[in-house]
Structure 1
Amino acid sequence: MQAYENQLTWRISASALDISTLMRERPAAEQRPPNDLRSQCLTQGHLSTPKAADGPTISSTITTVTGGCYFRSLCDTKVFVVSSASVKLKPIVQQVKSSHPSFSAQTSGVFQMDVLAIPADRHKGWYLSLMAPNTKGPKFAWLDPSRLYCNSQALADCVKDLLIPFHNNTIDLVAGIDAMGFILGASVATTLGKGFLAVRKAGHLCVATQTQNYTDYTGRNKTLEVRLDVLNPGVRVLLVDQWIETGGTMKAAIQLVERLGATVVGVAAVAIENTEGGKWIKENYKYSHCIPEEFQSLIDRKYLESFKNFNN
């Protein structure tokens, strides 16, 4: 994509900020609507002019995005595309100030992608950048994948990607593991038009259950349980959890399903880390996760480059 920053022109009036661009022969493919540009927001800053004698202070938000750059005036809801991906916030601010010294600029740091926005280019795994890093210390998981569920398209695309390997499999029932596996598992079940079985932590079901002890990712000993009146020989089950780190929880769920005579069609999660337990699952069961192969090493190191876009 070409850079258009040198073609930017400014016109300032007493009551409104008119930002226009001179983009010569810009390909139609690059003419993205404002919402698509907004959805790819990476960095924001703030520009304002002093209050004019006959008008209000003029303010605008400038945003660098993956596919371009836009200004949104606080006194005018119109969005003006002004640049391409090569432009960063600081050069634009400097350019504006050199043209119009009356402009003042305050950068507001790096902002994460708008959690509710939907990008125009939804490549496989695009929603992974929505996951938030741990900010509370070692007692918690190293990231929070559930942030992506807040975006309806992200959740839908995640489920779609998870189901690709199972298109030719017969699935009678989806089982989700307590607790975050309930959200993803129920979404998978709804997409497939199948029922959903909750694999609970022990002590919550008021009916007869089968239990299985296990050690979770924190090293604590726990117990899973499942009701006895659903799983029978011949029932084909897709097991879903949010994340598989050590594999202990998923292995316990597999044991419960198989002990009651049902068949595990496969295992699905946002990610399966290459721990001993994660590898065991991959080697013994059909599996699906949303992590592109080139990013697996980042998952195993428990760090994503997208974390840099979060303010702690």
Structure 2
Amino acid sequence: MDPTSSYSSAAEALEALTRRVADFPEEGVLFEDLTPVLADAEALAVVIRELSAAARDFGADMIGGLDARGFLIGSAVAYDLGIGILAVRKKGKLPPPVLSEEYSTEYSEAALEIPAEGIDLRGKRVVLIDDVLATGGTLVAATNLIERAGGSVVGYAVVLEVKALGGRERLGGAPLAVLGG
């Protein structure tokens, strides 16, 4: 444990600070808001430390951060490890040319994009980082994009998992680190 931190683990920080909001964004959904975790310096530090350890263990030489909270935490992990980050964006946020992949979320249909030029992913070992693993659609779509660009996804690291939605099963047994939930 970091002697300056009041949290012995990310799970402890998440339990203490995650704001749970019933019936958002629609009735029957319990939304787990990580904003208070990200705003607390000690909690953020322990979350980044544990995600970095997972990415290091998976052999990452690049982080893929998923739009949008995955950018926040993925950037900090990439910085901590001294490697680059690929911003995996929602459709329409990048200038062309792009590679695009459609997928289904628990609420709707969506698409992710990465640049088709300017970043060489061939042979890169990418760890995808996101805030929540729910149905797994977002992580699977990002995996497909990276593989189409010549990279390989060597693992996934998420802050929370909604186990009832079965996303873990869609990841094909690839290494997965979950900090809480």
TM-score range, shorter chain: 0.7 to 0.9
Q: 1:188 aligns with which of 56, 74, 77?
A: 77
Deviation of 1:206 after TM superposition, in Å, equals: 1.2
Q: TM-score, normalised by structure 1?
A: 0.51
Aligned length: 173
Q: 2:90 aligns with which of 201, 204, 212?
A: 201
Question: CA RMSD for the aligned pairs?
Answer: 2.1
Q: 1:272 aligns with which of 161, 172, 175?
A: 161
Deviation of 1:248 after TM superposition, in Å, equals: 0.8
Identity %: 29
1:226 and 2:98 aligned: no
Deviation of 1:141 after TM superposition, in Å, equals: 5.7
- Runs of 5+ unmatched residues, structure 2: none
| Alignment CA distance shift 1:124-1:223 (3 Å) | closer
1:122 and 2:8 aligned: yes
| Alignment CA distance shift 1:277-1:136 (3 Å) | closer
Given that residues 71 and 87 in structure 2 are in contact (C-alpha distance below 8 angstroms), is that contact kept between their aligned partners in structure 1? yes
Q: TM-score, normalised by structure 2?
A: 0.85
| Alignment CA distance shift 1:123-1:238 (3 Å) | closer
| Alignment CA distance shift 1:123-1:180 (3 Å) | closer
- Runs of 5+ unmatched residues, structure 1: 1-35, 37-117, 292-298, 300-312
Residues 256-297 of structure 1: per-residue CA shift (max 9 Å, x gap): 11111101121111023333322222x421111102xxxxxx
- C-alpha separation between the residues in 2 aligned to 1:250 and 1:151? 26
SS in 2 for 1:142: strand
| Alignment CA distance shift 1:153-1:192 (3 Å) | same
Deviation of 1:215 after TM superposition, in Å, equals: 0.8
| Alignment CA distance shift 1:178-1:167 (3 Å) | closer
- C-alpha separation between the residues in 2 aligned to 1:182 and 1:210? 18
Given that residues 231 and 257 in structure 1 are in contact (C-alpha distance below 8 angstroms), is that contact kept between their aligned partners in structure 2? no
- C-alpha separation between the residues in 1 aligned to 2:175 and 2:83? 19
**Residue of structure 2 equivalent to 1:133:** 20
| Alignment CA distance shift 1:255-1:126 (3 Å) | same
Structure 2 residue identity aligned to 1:279: E
1:285 and 2:174 aligned: yes
| Alignment CA distance shift 1:268-1:168 (3 Å) | closer
Relative contact order, higher structure (CA 8 A, sep 6+): 2
Q: 1:151 aligns with which of 23, 40, 46?
A: 40
| Alignment CA distance shift 1:138-1:207 (3 Å) | closer
SS in 1 for 2:179: coil
Max Rg structure = 1
SS in 1 for 2:51: helix
SS in 1 for 2:103: strand
